[in-house]
Amino acid sequence: MRRYAILQRIPWASWLVLITFLAFALRLARLDFQPLWWDEGWTVYFATSDIPSMMARTAIDIHPPFYYLLLHLWVLLLGPSPFAIRFFSLLVGVLSLPLIFLLARRLFNPRVGLLAALVWAVAPFPIYYSQEARMYALVTFLGLLS
């Protein structure tokens, strides 16, 4: 019982920062391990187009242009390398983690919030979609933000 008392004295914000760093490290590992695949290639194609062309092309695509617009700005800052393009999804995926904590804390308590954040940090699907140059991490982030 005594060793758990130490864990309880550490503020939940410190745990959240630690879990967020864990999530970042797990998502950063092997980020550029494989080349861009088919859908990611289309993402790069849309994001590196000029904005009027991008809007025209995404008008006939099933995906709305918001992700491509954000990624277009990101590419202007960091360049079109696969690592830089995937890093945008990584960043948005990691930023989802505090939102998951806040949601679970609001619905339950800080302990449940930390557990939810930890599960999100190490779960394979959130890691995978945070490493992909697609809009899935952004959709999750915006859904949690709403």
Q: What is the pLDDT of residues 34-72, one digit of tens each?
A: 899 999 999 999 999 999 999 998 888 888 899 999 999
**Domain-embedded: residue 49:** yes
The residue assigned the tokens 């809007």 is 55
Within-domain flag for 61: yes
Retrieve residue 17's tokens.
């920062």
Entry pTM: 0.89
Q: What is the amino acid identity at position 25?
A: A
Domain of residue 77 covers 37-145
Is 4 inside any structural domain? no
Please, are residues 34 and 132 in contact by the beta-carbon 8 Å criterion? no
CA angle 126, 51, 65 (to 5 degrees): 35
Alpha-carbon distance of 115 to 101, in angstroms, equals 8
Q: How far apart are CA 93 and CA 98, in angstroms?
A: 10
Strand, helix or coil for residue 55: helix
pLDDT in tens, the chain (146 residues): 555 555 566 798 999 999 999 999 999 999 988 899 999 999 999 999 999 999 998 888 888 899 999 999 999 999 999 999 999 999 999 999 999 999 999 999 999 999 999 999 999 999 999 999 999 999 999 999 99
Please indicate, yes or no, if residue 2 is contained in any of the structural domains. no
Express the helix, strand and coil content of the chain in percent, nearest 5 each: 75, 0, 25
pLDDT for the residue numbered 114: 97
- The predicted structure's pLDDT at residue 133: 96
Residue 27 lies in a domain: no
Question: What's the Cα-to-Cα distance from 113 to each of 43, 95, 104, rounded to whole Å?
Answer: 33, 15, 4
Residue 134 CA to residue 111 CA, distance in Å, equals 32
Q: How many domains does the chain have?
A: 1
